[in-house]
Structure 1
Amino acid sequence: MWPDRRILDLLGLELPIFQAPMAGPVDSEMVIAVSEAGGLGGLPCALMSPEKARTELGIIRQRTSRPININFFCHTQPADDPAREAAWKKRLEPFYVELGLDPAAPAPRSARAPFDEEFCEIVEEFRPEVVSFHFGLPDAVLLDRVKATGAKVLSSATTADEAVWLEERGCDAIIAQGAEAGGHRGIFLTDNVANQPGTFALVPQVVDAVKVPVIAAGGIADARGIVAAFVLGASAVQIGTAYLFCPEAKVAAPHKAVLRAAKDDHTALTNVFTGRPARGIVNRIMREVGPMSDVAPAFPLAGGALAPLKAKSEPLGSGDFMSLWSGQAARLGREMPAAELTRVLAEEAQALLGTLAR
């Protein structure tokens, strides 16, 4: 019933449904559920220490033999910029004072780590079927080591030019991430987010530009979006925000509340939480500081100064200083277990494809 089986055959999957590897909400529990249902569960490692990643992968390997994806960021750590960090702290000072925090206290460092030698050793140890990257690819030596494990390599492209760049460097499939997607933009050949295309303009152009299979991502949350992606030439879809409604998602109460109330125009791209553009539900800090601030330090350093504000306000039930990541289709989300959601999405998409074929 699927129009293009290339990704299913390439990765050994039953269903062309990928769960987006969302750092924070996703751990082994969701990965296992999605993979056992026949889709591709994705473990995000960007916020994990190597020790935590090993623990999570150990749990996954004990509980499923199905294909899994592990995901890494490929950013370059920026040099310290004390003047800019001081200016950012000064911009946030009124919020510190309001919450009874000391603005002069040292800010914690962001925990987001790029793919490196130690993470590469974890890939070699656990040999996941799929390794995916965000913000481009790691250096050629590390990438060759990943491919030597037998893993298929995927990465996100936000333009057709990025897709071609990734294919030329050995990617086995391309995730075409449209502007509707929640979380961090995978943009890496430019920093101009204003020109970013939407999913259903991007996907067919990426399909035309590369020979490898394409996975559509961004604003897809139900059978209609899945079928539309297939019609435009995608071999699979990657879904993120819809999985945040599953009980396996580790979503804080304020985040869950705004997801349930979100509408199509409730999100915006912002750099205030990390220093890099990402889509989230608009909250107080985005309204009053951004959403795009030219004061925010480079990725991932901006997050450090926000951490005390989040730590103080979140236990009070406030999402004012949280990164409320969400795509534009949150309103289409349904609350059901991840395995059930994976199967239901596939069944409904197949039914719709069958209707269209008659």
Structure 2
Amino acid sequence: MSATPTLKPRLNVFLCAPRGFCAGVVRAIDIVEHALRKFGAPVYVRHEIVHNRYVVEGLKRKGAIFVEELDEVPDNGAPVVFSAHGVPKAVPVEAESRKLLAIDATCPLVTKVHREAEIHYRRGRKVVLVGHKGHTEVIGTMGQLPEGAVVLVESPEDVAALPFPADEPIAYVTQTTLSVDDMQEVVNALQEKYPQIAGPHKQDICYATTNRQEAVKEIAHKVDAFIVVGSPNSSNSQRLKEVAERNGCRRAQLVLRATDIDWSQLEGVASLGVTAGASAPEVLVEEILDAVGEKFELVIDTITTATEDVSFPLPRTLREKVA
């Protein structure tokens, strides 16, 4: 008599939509791939093109070489791509002085923040940047203006410590990948301390960051556990994990690949939320669902909170017909 097969426990999976790649990430990856087709390998990329190791390794296999600084790029005519997070102004100046073929993959929504900061500075305002110290995007934004012209704040406590008088002409801009709620706390503190402070006409936090956080908020209080697909160095992915925790789901984990799953966090759960950061490809979501499906009988439901149809054109250098 054959043994009765062990039935897998049922797991209701709620997939967030939208999730995964945003328009800025798609454009950045497309830029590297178009450059490889047009100019051939190698194509140099300053910093990770997006914060996802899987994506970076895939581009390396196609002929991209990732460097930290331009002094690692040889003067051999090979193109160099600036990452989606943006770079300080000194970087393209150096590239031009060396006659490097520079291609800027900065997300247009990050470029918008750069332009805002420059306008405020030209109008004589002190510029405050709300963001995370050391993040690539923050370094790029602060590098748009002379050293010391931008003051970084990360919390309401940082705002309280600002030395400017209440009547000082002042403006703020923000990193595009912050937690919407955290950002609002800091902005509220700025507006309370500096009632005349100037801000962006439209929120600097990008549409994709906002939409992905809203989708997580919709699901987090309904599930026993949450998996955010993304890299540990991805700011927007880290924020999604935090949003899940703050909105009622204590078992939230950020994983890049299926091998990173902490299975102890899924013991005894009946429902699971799944999303992906803006730099995480859908293939990794599928890989993780396949891994979970080996241990559970999955019932998958997609929860859609917004529809995205944003796209950004390639730089002019790459718009010509690719051979």
Q: Report if TM-score (shorter chain) is over 0.5.
A: no
- With the length of structure 2 as denominator, give the TM-score of the two structures: 0.33
Which structure has the higher relative contact order (CA within 8 Å, separation 6+)? 2
- With the length of structure 1 as denominator, give the TM-score of the two structures: 0.31
Q: In terms of Rg, which structure is larger? A: 2
